[in-house]
Amino acid sequence: MTRTILDLHVLQTVPPSNLNRDDTGTPKTAMYGGVRRARVSSQAWKRATRRAFHELLDPYELGVRTKRVADLLAEHIHDRDETLTAAERWALAAHTITTATGSKIETPKRKANGGDEAVAPESKYLMFLSAQQVAALGELALEGRDDIETFFKDKDNKARAKQIANARHSVDIALFGRMVADGADINVDAAAQVAHAISVHRVDNESDYYTAVDDRKDRETDDLGAGMIGTVEFNSATLYRYAALDVDLLRRNLGKGLRDREAPATPVRRAVEAFVEGFVCSLPTGKVNTFGNHTLPDLVIAKLRTARPVSFVSAFEAPCRTDPEKGGYVRDACDRLARYIPDIEETYGIADDEHTWIMRTGPNTDPLAKLGDKISLPTLVTTVGEQVAARQD
C-alpha cells in the first residue's frame, strides 16, 4: 500500500549553550560511533515545536496538556453559567472528565489535609485535551448540572462523554499523540516521530566559572569578594536533527477536521505546514538567557516518501572532523550527506520514490546543490503542503 511519509533532516550549529540538561544541570550527551556526542532529547524539541504552534495556528486548533484539567473545564463552565460556585464547577468538571477519560480527579494531597483555601481537583498525570474537546465536555457538563452523578448513569450520556474525548483532536494531539493510563480506548498514536538530536562530531562538555557582584557593597569598608559564585556547564555543536511524519496517520487522527465544511485535505495540509515550520525554526530554551544561542539551521532537507521513513544519521556514525583550512564541521557534514543520500537510496531502490526539497545557507552547504534546487523556508512550507494536499484526493 502506498503511504505518505514526510522526512525532515536538519543540520544546525549552536554556539556555547545548554539547550537540554540532565538532573545535575549538565548538557545531555550520548555515545554514538564510539565517541561522546552532544544530545538534545526528542521531548525537548517536541515541546519547542508545540510552543511554536502558538505563533502559527489558531488556539482553536491546539490542545492543553495539564494536570489541572478540572480547573480548565471549570473555566469554560463559568463562562456559560456564572451562577455556579467554584466548588460546583469543579464537581461538574471532575465527574465529566472521569466519565470521559476514566481518570480520577481528586484534590491534591498537598492541599487536601490543610489550609482553608479551596483548591481545584487535579488528575494524577498530565491530561491532553483539545480546545474543542474541552468546549464540548463543558457543554455536556452543563446539561447535567442539576445532578451530574445521575446524569452520567445514563448510558447514552456516558457514551457521549467518551465520544467527545476521542473526536476533534487538536493538531498537537494528532501529531504527538496522547496516552491516557486509565482510558486506553481514547489513546492517540503519534503521527510524528522526532529523533534525539546529536552532534555530528565528538563533544566535550565545558564549565563556566562565574561571579556576581553585590551592587550594595561598599568597596572601601566591605570585603571585595563576589556576592555569588557558581559554575554552569555547556557545549557547542553542529547537530543532526531528524523527524518523520506519517501523513496518513495524521489524517486519521484529525478525523473530519477541526472546522466544519472544509475540504478533507485542508486540516492535514495546515498541520503539515505548521509542523515543518515549527520543527525547523524552533529551539529549546534551556539556559537561553545565559547563552543567547539563537541560531537557525544551516541545512534542511525535506523528502516525501511512499514507503517508510529513512534517517541519514548513519552518515555521521564516524564523527566528523574539522577542516584545518576552513574549520568547522558543517562542510564535512554536508560532504557526507551528499555522498550518503544517493548511495543509500540507490542501494535500496528508493531514489525515485520521493520529492526532495533543500533549504540551505552558506558555501559550506554547496556539496548538496546536486541533490535539489535551493529554496526558501516559505517556499518549502508551501510546496510541501501542496504536495501533501494533492495526495489526499
Confidence category of residue 266, pLDDT binned at 50, 70, 90? confident
Distance CA 128, CA 139 (A): 18
* Positive or negative: CA dihedral 234, 236, 237, 242: positive
pLDDT of amino acid 141 = 95
Q: Which residue has the higher pLDDT, 324 or 115?
A: 324
pLDDT of amino acid 215 = 77
Give the SS3 label for residue 19.
coil
Kindly tell me if the per-residue pLDDT of 224 is higher than 90: no
Write the pLDDT tens digit of every residue in 31-81. Answer: 999 999 999 999 999 999 999 999 999 999 999 999 999 999 999 999 999
pLDDT of amino acid 65 = 95
Kindly tell me if the per-residue pLDDT of 147 is higher than 90: yes
Give the largest CA-CA distance in the chain. Answer: 81
Write the pLDDT tens digit of every residue in 109-138. Answer: 765 555 556 788 999 999 999 999 999 999
Q: What is the mean pLDDT of residues 221-233?
A: 74
Q: What is the mean pLDDT of residues 216-232?
A: 71
Write the pLDDT tens digit of every residue in 194-216. Answer: 999 999 999 999 998 877 877 77
Torsion angle of the four alpha carbons 359, 360, 365, 370, in this order, in degrees rounded to the nearest 10: 30
Percent of the chain with pLDDT over 70: 92
Q: Which residue has the higher pLDDT, 323 or 247?
A: 247
pLDDT of amino acid 212 = 81
Tell me the β-bridge partners of 64: 129
Tell me the β-bridge partners of 322: none
Distance CA 359, CA 297 (A): 9
Helix, strand, coil percent values for the chain (each to nearest 5): 40, 20, 35
Question: Which grid cell sits at 234?
Answer: 555547556
Confidence category of residue 256, pLDDT binned at 50, 70, 90? low
- Report the predicted TM-score, pTM, of the whole model to 2 decimal places: 0.91
pLDDT of amino acid 1 = 58
Q: What is the mean pLDDT of residues 80-105?
A: 93
Cα atoms in the 13 Å half-sphere on the side-chain side of 215: 0
Q: Which of these, 99, 120, 100, lies nearest to 111 by C-alpha position? A: 120
Alpha helix positions (H), 60-170: 69-80, 86-101, 109-112, 131-143, 148-151, 155-165
pLDDT of amino acid 353 = 64
353: exposed, middle or buried (Cβ count in 10 Å: 0-12, 13-18, 19+): middle
